[in-house]
Structure 1
């Protein structure tokens, strides 16, 4: 079924399967596809981010389960803090799934990384559909779930959204790109990967 995603500015994308069928003003897409489902989102549609720190955030960081908040807190743990936790494959896989969900909640549609060594992490990433692109070495900034808070000059984004391209994009509840840069990717309200709505802020 074809779905049209539209933002507050009237920009819209028609998604069918895993790809973008059409892009343009909402009124034009609705007229061309009168039977399509329409999702109206507050804010702006963007191509979504590629987080440059796939290895650091998924293989060298533990994302606590909410049920562990009393003992581990709620923030991601890395470095010396990991030495206090017994991490087997099952726990690494669960952590990676939570980490990916937190990335999706920041408009991330792909991660850049060197080959993932942990099989449980690889499986978790593959099952979510999160894109993976190659990376040589450490980017140099500070790993963060928010690609706009890493200190890198500019986060990478996938190719422009146009008919025939993969449906990987995000929606941020801001007025424009300048406000997005100021407030950060925590303003994400929806993320679409491979045509699927994989994150929606309630």
Structure 2
């Protein structure tokens, strides 16, 4: 279905910001980027999704393997005992040996947490994951896999940080790629007024993630 995503500010990351901007999506591709009125004129009859804040390209996570296999993401049914945040280091070791079923659930929940942070691409040497649990979860989610031989930045003291902005990059250094006509429709929406506020407050402000044209996360 042809859909227009519109927000008070669109940040294409490869062009100037667009106040009262919009992105038109047909299937899994972007067909237009620009002021809402212009995009609406080009795509009559399209469904319109109106978002608060800023609309950007989807973000890129440089450390997915560490976050998914060296952290345990508790099941909501375990929240009373383990809390809701990822467990790592000594707290993870205290759980003892986890079987494959429990790890598979953790990996799936970790991927969902990445989507809630506006992530649409993850980095892996060779553009694939050798870990079968991670490879399956990422493939099923539809996340793009970006090949890399040397992910920049640090693991922030080897603690679980799902926010791609936490390493201090600006928007262009954090997104997977700019919004371009014909490009894959990977979008993120954040409830902030501008790019400065987004970089300062981070992906915790994410209210929606669109992955290959599909709305995969929407804040309640």
TM-score, normalising length: structure 2: 0.85
Q: Secondary structure at the match of 2:174?
A: coil
Are positions 1:84 and 2:88 aligned together?
Answer: no
Q: Which SS does the other structure have where 2:193 is aligned?
A: coil
CA distance in 2, matches of 1:180, 1:5: 19
1:146 is aligned to 2:163 = yes
Name which of 154, 171, 174 aligns with 1:156: 174
Deviation at 1:153, TM superposition (A): 7.5
Matched, 1:94 2:105: yes
SS of residue matched to 1:50: strand
| Offset, 1:137 | 4.5
Spell out, residue by residue over 1:161-186, the C-alpha distance to the aligned partner (whole angstroms, 9 max, x if none): 11100101101111100010111110
Cα deviation per residue 1:52-73 (whole Å; 9 max; x = unaligned)?
1111111211100111012211
> For the structure 1 residues 13 and 76, does the alpha-carbon distance in structure 2 shift closer, same or farther, using more than 3 Å as the test?
same
In structure 1, distance between residues paired with 2:195 and 2:170:
15
Contact 1:93 1:123 in 2 (8 A): no
Q: Distance in 2 between matches of 1:54 and 1:170?
A: 18
Deviation at 1:101, TM superposition (A): 1.1
User: Which 5+ residue runs of structure 2 have no aligned equivalent?
Assistant: 10-19
8 A Cα contact 1:144 1:150, kept in partner: no
After TM superposition, the structure 1 = structure 2 runs for residues 64-79 of structure 1, keeping only pairs within 5 Å, are 64-79=74-89
- Equivalent of residue 134 in structure 2, options 114, 121, 136: 121
Q: How many residues align?
A: 202
Q: Deviation per CA, 1:137-193: give whole Å up to 9, x if none.
A: 464242510111135677432221111001011011111000101111100111111
Asked if the contact 1:105–1:188 (Cα under 8 Å) also holds between the matched residues in 2, the reply is yes
SS of the aligned residue for 2:178 comes to coil
CA RMSD of aligned residues (A): 1.8
* Residue in 2 that maps onto 1:103: 114
TM-score (norm 1): 0.92
Structure 1 position 4, deviation (Å)? 0.3
Tell me, in whole angstroms, the C-alpha distance in 2 between the residues paired with 1:127 and 1:156.
Answer: 23
Distance 1:156-1:183 versus aligned 2 partners, 3 A rule: closer
1:20 CA drift (Å): 0.4
User: Is contact 1:90-1:120 (8 Å) kept?
Assistant: no
